Structure 1
Amino acid sequence: MKPIYIIGSNKGGVGKSLLTMAILDYFSKNEQSCFLVETESRLMDVHRSYRHLPFAVLDLSSESGASGLIDLGFGHPNEIIIVNATAVSIEGIEKYSQHLITELSALDRPLITLWVIDRLTSSLDSLSAYIKVMGGSTVHVAINNYFGDENYFHAYQNSSLKVSIEAQGKSLVFPTLNSYICDKFFNNSSTIEDAATGMLLGYRSLLNGWRKKCHAIFDSIAFVNSSQHVRSRQEILATGISISRLQAVDAIEFPNS
């Protein structure tokens, strides 16, 4: 049962790419194989740092893109799929949510979302709309301390939406990362682990401290334990389920790194 993780929000600039990289760093530490999905060919900042990973670019705002994600779920049963989702692709995921949830459930590939919020009510309105159409899948909320301590997120902390989220997922508070350190691996297109290796001791200590905090958060939602069981293609096909384009799995074109 290798999940598919969607890291998303209703807008850019909230820290989705950094969170995606933190998740990849976590799974690398735990020796879990990952497959990266970028959803915007012009903004592949995570892929530039994690070029060694298999990856695809999918336009999830389209029906073919949504079907492509299902095909990846079937074609890569041994890899955890991590989707760095743009705001536009989130709209597509909402539009084709039932198609995705039904088919991925049949593949025994849980669909799990980490939704990054900011302090504006528009972020919560979009999240509320998202969870309404994503029934049957787990949604966690990610609070980025870059925008202030969790107590500053008044709109979310005092909302019924938080109650709904925590009935099936968790509210996760991610620590702020020093801007100089963050620039290091984005500007140099290096993985978080490689960036730590090449830093001066003081900055390396700060980065490794941030990594440990992030890893502890992922441990709290049992990331590794939920990614152990894998069904073979033969087991999946034996169920007789209907997959959108099974024969097209090998036809998906993956850009060269």
Structure 2
Amino acid sequence: MAKDILISGGGKGGVGKSVVSVGAIDTALAHGETPILVETDTSNPDVWKMYKNELRAELIDLDEANGWIDLINICDQHPESTIIINTAARNNRGVAAYGETLSNTLSELDRRLVTFWVINRQRDSLELLNDYMTALAGSVIHVVRNGHYGPEEKFELYNGSKLRTSVERSGGQSLTFPDLADRVSDDLYSKRLSIGTAMKTLPLGNRAELTRWRHEVHKVLSGALYGAS
């Protein structure tokens, strides 16, 4: 079977899709993979800027049918690589219009489609997930509670919801993504640093915090992607 197609989604801006994409790239690299990044936030391609000199990174607009065609062709041409898709805030529109194009090719691609759906503590990210699950019914969906917005117990709307029950009954997991200190996060984004480059160039204290976060990220995402703990 070919490697997974991984989507970091959330349907809205500011929930933390990019940092989950960065964590997924770093986790894949730690497992000896050579992932391909597909950046769909073409107006503000932060993750693409961080990794474009270190791995294959494509800018693709998934608001248009041609973008989905390009995505599927990349998946077909590189079965040995995990495809990591960082989505734009508006991406639910493109998924609703064209997501079936990808779903219909999964069998021929011989790939599993996995979504990390990133949420904050507000209701709209959950409502958008309902729409997404309908549009991409072929995806395994893990819900990622972004720890930047508080500890796991603070996500009360999701924790006690029927949506959580539906996600977990369908084989998905409810994950809590670790928070990274703002000063280190600001370093990564303002200086366009990959995790690997940051570990070589940031001051020692910053690197110590990044190492802590990195280890936690690997545990969270590896469990969902590779069955490791």
What TM-score do you get using the length of structure 1 for normalisation?
A: 0.83
Which residue does 2:214 correspond to in 1? 211
Post-superposition shift, 1:171?
0.7
Q: Does structure 1 residue 175 correspond to structure 2 residue 178?
A: yes
Post-superposition shift, 1:179?
0.5
Would you say the 8 A contact 2:40–2:62 is kept in 1? yes
Please give the alpha-carbon distance, in whole angstroms, between the structure 2 residues aligned to 1:223 and 1:203: 29
Give the aligned residue type for 2:144: A
Among candidates 93, 96, 108, match of residue 94 of structure 1: 96
Which residue does 1:45 correspond to in 2? 46
Higher relative contact order (CA 8 A, sep 6+): 1
Fraction of identical pairs, as percent = 35
Would you say the 8 A contact 1:30–1:224 is kept in 2? no
What TM-score do you get using the length of structure 2 for normalisation?
A: 0.93
Which residue does 2:34 correspond to in 1? 33
Instruction: Report how many aligned residue pairs link the two structures.
Output: 225
Which residue does 1:165 correspond to in 2? 167
**Alpha carbon RMSD of aligned pairs, Å?**
1.5
Please give the alpha-carbon distance, in whole angstroms, between the structure 2 residues aligned to 1:120 and 1:186: 25
Please give the alpha-carbon distance, in whole angstroms, between the structure 2 residues aligned to 1:30 and 1:139: 21
Among candidates 99, 110, 123, match of residue 121 of structure 1: 123
Please give the alpha-carbon distance, in whole angstroms, between the structure 1 residues aligned to 2:89 and 2:186: 23
Please give the alpha-carbon distance, in whole angstroms, between the structure 1 residues aligned to 2:125 and 2:91: 16
Would you say the 8 A contact 2:48–2:59 is kept in 1? no
Please give the alpha-carbon distance, in whole angstroms, between the structure 2 residues aligned to 1:144 and 1:153: 9
Could you list the structure 1 runs, at least 4 aligned residues long, displaced by more than 6 angstroms after superposition. none
Q: Can you give the 5+ residue segments of structure 2 that lack an aligned partner in the other structure?
A: none
Among candidates 111, 114, 139, match of residue 113 of structure 2: 111
Would you say the 8 A contact 2:8–2:85 is kept in 1? yes
Among candidates 62, 70, 89, match of residue 60 of structure 1: 62
SS in 2 for 1:216: helix
Please give the alpha-carbon distance, in whole angstroms, between the structure 2 residues aligned to 1:224 and 1:60: 30
Q: Which has the larger radius of gyration?
A: 1
